[in-house]
Every structure is written in structure tokens, then in C-alpha cells.
Structure 1
Amino acid sequence: MDFYISDTHFGHAGIIGLCERPFRSVDEMDHALIDNWNARVGADDDVWHLGDFAYRGDKPCAHYLSKLNGRIHLLIGNHDQTTLMREPEALAMLASCDFATTRIDGLNRRIWMCHYPLALPPKRTWALYGHVHNDANPEGFPAWPLVKTMDMALNCCVEVNGYMPVTFEELVVNNERLRKEWRG
């Protein structure tokens, strides 16, 4: 089975306040993310992580990777370049690692994935992204008003998806709910 997730920010105490995550400490957040992940993902499942795996923590990325089930495919985020990408041991634990990828899943859906939202994805292709967390109006994305209305653009950030990896179908439902919230 395939699962999708983004912006776990393992080890990053500051993300709790920045994104209003419901955790009292970084340890509580890390434990919840690991427990939620492993409750859903089995050893033979594929997890597509759309970047910002860890940031500013005192534990190496390999520590977290060693605790997570499944084959992890990382789409490199802005914070991964200063953390995970500098740990050969962690890189060796990934099933794949790239900046962006396009694939066709088991139900013949064309899926483009990258850490950053894409305003003009290929036609009839789902565009999965992270980076913006649950921010309705992130700075630095002039095309954001368009992206956040696109039915085939799906936010994989943990804040949108219950702090756990989700299936494609759950991703669609969660993003429909998010777009309604953003419209007010």
C-alpha cells in the first residue's frame, strides 16, 4: 500500500508553535508522529515523504528512520538539505531520494510529487506537495491563490492529515475539507 506525508519536522521544537501543533514538547510530538506512522504503515508499504523530514533536533535523522515502518521515498525539502542529506547513514536507509518524481500508482493515477506546490502541473496529473503546512496564505508563492483552489493539487503536510501518513483517498478527502476551511 502507498502512503503520503510531508513536513514531519522530527526534532523541531519551534514547529509546534509556528504551526499550532497540538503537542506540549518536541518529545511528545516525535513520539506521536512515530506511533501514528507505525500504527498505519507495515514493513511492505511504501511511504512517499514530501520533504522536511527533520529539522534542528538533537538526534540524527537515522535515529528517526530506524523507528519507522515501510520503505521511505524522500522528496527533498528545503530543510532536508541541511539535515538528512548530510547523513550518509540516513540516506542509506531510504528506498529512494530525489527532488521531484512522477509515477503512476496501482490505480493508474498519474502523480507528480515535490516538496513545493506547483501551479501548472501536467494535465490530468495529481500534484502532491508539502512545504506550506496548514497556512492558507503562505508568503513567497505568487501562484498560491490558484494552487489552493486546484482539485488535483493535494497538500501532504502532517497538519492537514492528522499527523500521520495517509492513503491517496484520505489525502483527497482531507484536502477537500481544507479547501472548504480556506474558503470560510
Structure 2
Amino acid sequence: MPTWFIADTHFGKQPGGRCKWSGMSAGELDALIEANWRDRVAENDVIWHLGDIGPDWRRLATLPGVKHLILGNDDKKDKEERAEIEASRIFETVRNRHRLEVDGGSLFLIHIPAEAKRKPAHEVIHGHLHHLPSVPGHRSVSVDRTGWAPQRLEELLTRSS
């Protein structure tokens, strides 16, 4: 089954700068990200959300895929909401970081790339930087960098940082 990655959906509260440079409203961005998710991800596919799901995170329950969450900085702000996220059963797992074994090695999944080891033994897959470029050995799956859509593992590993 395919494995997908996405970050920084910010459902329900898109960053102002994102709306400005994309030329879309917050509602249009939410709808586009959701439509692209539905277009790509099948019900039994695995999808890793690498943080900053947004205040309307419950909408993820209606999206396809077996979901895993790496908490982002915005997801950790409210302890009560974090407890709701963990109890919701929308996500199979909720973690701060994770090492994912894939053919040919390991991927280190985290939201903020600066929180990864300085010289990790694995490729770092992250969000948080939005449209800013990643450093070598790091790959961003922020929707700003992936055409507002989840990215399949094979696509991720063949594109430049």
C-alpha cells in the first residue's frame, strides 16, 4: 500500500502570508488541500501528517487513509486540544517524532527540522518551513512545497530537497 506525507495543512486558519502569496483565500486553500488529498490518497493508504493540522483538525476524519500524526508546534500549544486529538482515534499514532523504516534505509519524521540531530543518520522529512527551502539531507512536505497535496514516498525520495 502507498505511503504519503503532508504537513502544514492549517485547516481552519491558514497563515496570512500563505493566502497573500498564493492569491487564494483561507477557505479556498482548505478546499484545495482537501480535494488534492481525496484525489491522491486511497482509504487503505498510509499517510503521515507532519504537523500543524490546524484548528479544524476534525475534518481529517472524513479524509481517506490510515493517518499518523507528528505533532507540530501549533498542535502542541493547547494541552486540552492535544488530548482531544490523541483521544479522537482519527490518527493511528500521535507522536513528536518517528523513525520510519523504508526500503533502502530510514526516514526521520519531525515537524521542525532544526529539532533533528545536526547530522542525522537518516533523511529528515519535515514541515514547518512552508515555502522556504530545506537544507541538504532534509525534505519538506509542507503543502506550500508540494502543490497543496500529499506527496507519495517515491515522489518525495526522487525530488530535490
Q: Quick check: 1:11–1:26 contact (8 Å CA) kept in 2?
A: yes
Q: Quick check: 2:42–2:65 contact (8 Å CA) kept in 1?
A: yes
- CA distance, structure 2, for counterparts of residue 159 and residue 91 of structure 1: 27
The structural deviation recorded for 1:67 is: 2.2
Counterpart secondary structure, 2:31: helix
- Equivalent residue letter for 1:159: D
Asked if 1:68 corresponds to 2:69, the answer is no
Counterpart secondary structure, 1:29: helix
- CA distance, structure 2, for counterparts of residue 115 and residue 108 of structure 1: 22
- CA distance, structure 2, for counterparts of residue 23 and residue 91 of structure 1: 33
Equivalence for 2:35: 35
Asked if 1:163 corresponds to 2:148, the answer is yes
CA separation of 1:102 and 1:19: change in aligned 2, threshold 3 A = farther
Aligned identity (percent) is 28
- CA distance, structure 2, for counterparts of residue 51 and residue 76 of structure 1: 5
Q: Quick check: 1:44–1:70 contact (8 Å CA) kept in 2?
A: yes
CA separation of 1:37 and 1:21: change in aligned 2, threshold 3 A = farther
Pick from 126, 129, 132 the counterpart of residue 135 of structure 1: 132
- CA distance, structure 2, for counterparts of residue 49 and residue 121 of structure 1: 23
- Equivalent residue letter for 1:72: K
Equivalence for 1:95: 92
The superposition leaves residues 53-90 of structure 1 with CA deviations (integer Å, 9 ceiling, x where unpaired) of 014xxxx421x112211011100001112465142586
Counterpart secondary structure, 2:35: helix
Whose strand fraction is larger, Structure 1's or Structure 2's?
2
Structure 2: any 5+ residue segments left out of the alignment? none
The structural deviation recorded for 1:28 is: 1.2
Counterpart secondary structure, 2:22: coil
Larger Rg belongs to: 1
- Equivalent residue letter for 1:135: L
Aligned structure 1 segments of 4 or more residues deviating by more than 3 angstroms? 18-21, 88-91
TM-score by length of 1: 0.75
- What number of residue pairs does the alignment pair up? 156
- CA distance, structure 2, for counterparts of residue 93 and residue 155 of structure 1: 23
CA separation of 1:20 and 1:4: change in aligned 2, threshold 3 A = farther
- CA distance, structure 2, for counterparts of residue 108 and residue 91 of structure 1: 34
CA separation of 1:114 and 1:43: change in aligned 2, threshold 3 A = same
Structure 1: any 5+ residue segments left out of the alignment? 137-147, 180-184
- CA distance, structure 1, for counterparts of residue 60 and residue 105 of structure 2: 28
Equivalence for 1:114: 110
Q: Quick check: 2:19–2:26 contact (8 Å CA) kept in 1?
A: no
Asked if 1:2 corresponds to 2:12, the answer is no
CA separation of 1:155 and 1:130: change in aligned 2, threshold 3 A = same
